[in-house]
Structure 1
Amino acid sequence: MLRFLLLTSLAALVLAEDAEPIYLEHQTMVERVVGGEIASANSWPWQISLQYLSGGSYYHTCGGSLIRTGWVMTAAHCVDTSRTWRVVVGDHDIYTHEGTEQYLSVSAVYVHPNWNRNNVAGGYDIALLRLSTAAVLNSKVQLATLPPSGQVLPNNNACYITGWGRTSTGGPLSAKLKQAYLPVVDHQTCSSSSWWGSTVKTTMVCAGGGSDSGCNGDSGGPLNCLVSGRYVVHGVTSFVSSLGCNTLRKPTVFTRVSAYISWLQGIMG
């Protein structure tokens, strides 16, 4: 069963697969990367916390990437419900005000038109947020680098997932941004019958498959991959297995950013 990595109480989606995908945002509490370690403060300066308003307070639900000063890229399943959103850039500990944060309201949400919340395996789990005011770039806040259109990384390419999601399946919370090393699993391997099978499409990227993984609360955040000496956001965190966030041979699945470059540019202009 598939699980999306978001933090709202959405019902699990059931697909006709042996292992269905699940949004990484189930649960109403903040969750984070399984395994890995606490990242150095602001070492992934394009990472954002997406938060929603409830009862007068804002709560973290997903991650995302600052790709222009006025635009954030996240997962469609994070924002396909109507809520009051805000984006926090320059954050590290989401429960502590450290003075480096910028709190930015969201003026418009653009979910990919082909996204279907009832068919996560169909893909298109990508969205753009237009910010009401532009982020101010500094040493703590930088823009993500996106890949060229169509680029597909080789098996075992070095990547890191980053996020504030659960530290274990159903496990405890941690306030500080985490990172975990998740090498790419190529499509031929990931789509084989003993891995994800036909659930995984060529417009997705698999990474991990061992003890480290994404988990609830990581949805929408970046898969940061080392390409030619710099980190490029090649994935948007989408789903894991309902059998557990770090199930063997069920690597974390990401929307492949390079498959959507033209759509992103078309929205942002």
Structure 2
Amino acid sequence: MLGYIVLVLAVAGAPAFAGDQLTFPEVARGAARIVSGWEAQEGQIPHQISLRMVNPGGGVSSCGASLIHHEWALTAAHCTAARVSLVLRFGTVNLTRPALIQESTEYYNHPSYNEAFPGVVQPNDIGVIKLRRPVEYTDLIKPVRIQRSADKDKSYDRVQLTASGWGLLWTQATSPENLNWVYLLGVENSYCRVRYGFSSIIQDSTICASAYNVSSQSTCQGDSGGPLTVVDVDGQLSVVGVTSFVSATGCHTDFPAGFIRAGYYHDWYYQLTGINFDWDPEEAGSGEGSSEGSNENSNEDSNESSNESSNENSNESSNENSNESSNENSSESSNGSSESTSEEDK
């Protein structure tokens, strides 16, 4: 079944995108949450961040985000566009007991995302937040790796994925205090395009996911910007998508949810942060953008090489000095000289 089609016309500078039943999880009708999922346990999803956004009028709304570095978080552009302040809660399952709270006013949305129209579903709905202070990793606060660029076009059809967030629990329900998560199944973009009436929003940089084993399973209100993760080829977790949109018919209906493929934007991440978040399975580190692991390995190799060179030079210098001293002493002794030369290693 195809849903009704809504065309967003290019009026007064608005971008022309085909709406095709698309909306943000925050405004979807019907059931609204990580729908038909389960409550998370302490430390189960340590990269999950709760995001509260304040607009110029003082209104507050909520989204999710992912910790990807000591100083950076990943979220959806529509969550941060036109906001004046962001409050981030880290290391929490229950929103009343966060391990850490920070406020930030520094965020960067992808340059192809039109911030003048945050209420319009758009492609490239991705952004990063600069943390005010570096976050210290603990058992409850850990980063998640970004999908590597080599897999940016990978098919996740019928692959088990995981979404998480603090969305509402059901139709007209209140927002939960506890973090929820749900399994979803990846679907081909071709299928997603058909279900959404060939919407121009479904691009190569989109990944869609449907219910895993209960037709109502999905993301919804309060889940935007949060992570869609997969257990990757090396057995480690990677964030493959950023929660972006759902069907306007409701989160619980049998339409795929839409996410932005995180692996599509590595050049932009690097240009913006100076950090290489890309990685290779054979060199994968502890789960953070592999740049830190690579830098640490590089520094260790450099230090080992430097120490070896230093030791070799020191040994050579010591041997040369010892030989020179021995030769000089021997020569001077044979000449009846009482002088001797010694040199300490410095």
2: distance between equivalents of 1:234 and 1:128?
Answer: 15
Task: Give the 3 Å change call, closer, same or farther, for CA 174–82 of structure 1 in structure 2.
Answer: closer
1:233 paired with 2:231, answer: no
* Residue from 261, 266, 270 that aligns with 1:256: 261
**Counterpart of 1:257 in structure 2: which amino acid?**
A
Higher share of residues assigned helix: 2
Aligned to 1:130: 130
Task: Give the 3 Å change call, closer, same or farther, for CA 79–121 of structure 1 in structure 2.
Answer: closer
Aligned to 2:273: 268
* Residue from 158, 165, 170 that aligns with 2:167: 165
Contact 1:38 1:178 in 2 (8 A): yes
2: distance between equivalents of 1:71 and 1:173?
Answer: 26
Task: Give the TM-score, by structure 1 length.
Answer: 0.84
Aligned to 2:149: 149
How many corresponding residue pairs?
249
Aligned to 2:296: none
Aligned to 1:202: 204
Where does the alignment leave 5 or more consecutive residues of structure 2 unmatched?
A: 6-14, 275-346
2: distance between equivalents of 1:268 and 1:216?
Answer: 30
* Residue from 190, 212, 235 that aligns with 1:188: 190
2: distance between equivalents of 1:47 and 1:16?
Answer: 31
Q: Deviations over 1:165-211 (max 9, x none)?
A: 1223443321100001011111122122x455234111111011432
2: distance between equivalents of 1:14 and 1:24?
Answer: 21
2: distance between equivalents of 1:120 and 1:225?
Answer: 28
**Counterpart of 2:143 in structure 1: which amino acid?**
L
Aligned to 2:68: 67
Task: Give the 3 Å change call, closer, same or farther, for CA 262–189 of structure 1 in structure 2.
Answer: same
Q: Tell me the secondary structure at the aligned position of residue 243 of structure 1.
A: coil
Aligned to 2:88: 87
Contact 2:74 2:126 in 1 (8 A): yes
Q: Deviations over 1:58-92 (max 9, x none)?
A: 96600000001110010000000132212111011
2: distance between equivalents of 1:263 and 1:170?
Answer: 39
1:111 paired with 2:109, answer: yes
Q: Tell me the secondary structure at the aligned position of residue 149 of structure 2.
A: coil
2: distance between equivalents of 1:105 and 1:230?
Answer: 30
Where does the alignment leave 5 or more consecutive residues of structure 1 unmatched?
A: 3-12
Moved more, 68-77 or 37-46: 37-46
**Counterpart of 1:221 in structure 2: which amino acid?**
G
Contact 2:22 2:245 in 1 (8 A): yes
Task: Give the 3 Å change call, closer, same or farther, for CA 60–266 of structure 1 in structure 2.
Answer: same
**Counterpart of 1:162 in structure 2: which amino acid?**
S
Query: Displacement, 1:122?
Result: 4.1
Contact 1:168 1:215 in 2 (8 A): no
1:139 paired with 2:139, answer: yes
Query: Displacement, 1:162?
Result: 0.3
Contact 2:91 2:141 in 1 (8 A): yes
Task: Give the TM-score, by structure 2 length.
Answer: 0.66
Task: Give the 3 Å change call, closer, same or farther, for CA 140–247 of structure 1 in structure 2.
Answer: same
Q: Tell me the secondary structure at the aligned position of residue 224 of structure 2.
A: coil
Aligned to 1:46: 47
1: distance between equivalents of 2:148 and 2:246?
Answer: 26
Task: Give the 3 Å change call, closer, same or farther, for CA 196–133 of structure 1 in structure 2.
Answer: farther
Contact 2:35 2:219 in 1 (8 A): yes
Between the two structures, name the one with larger relative contact order (CA 8 Å, sep ≥ 6).
1
1: distance between equivalents of 2:18 and 2:23?
Answer: 13
Query: Displacement, 1:153?
Result: 3.6
Percent identity, aligned pairs only, is 29
Task: Give the 3 Å change call, closer, same or farther, for CA 222–196 of structure 1 in structure 2.
Answer: farther
Q: Tell me the secondary structure at the aligned position of residue 53 of structure 2.
A: strand
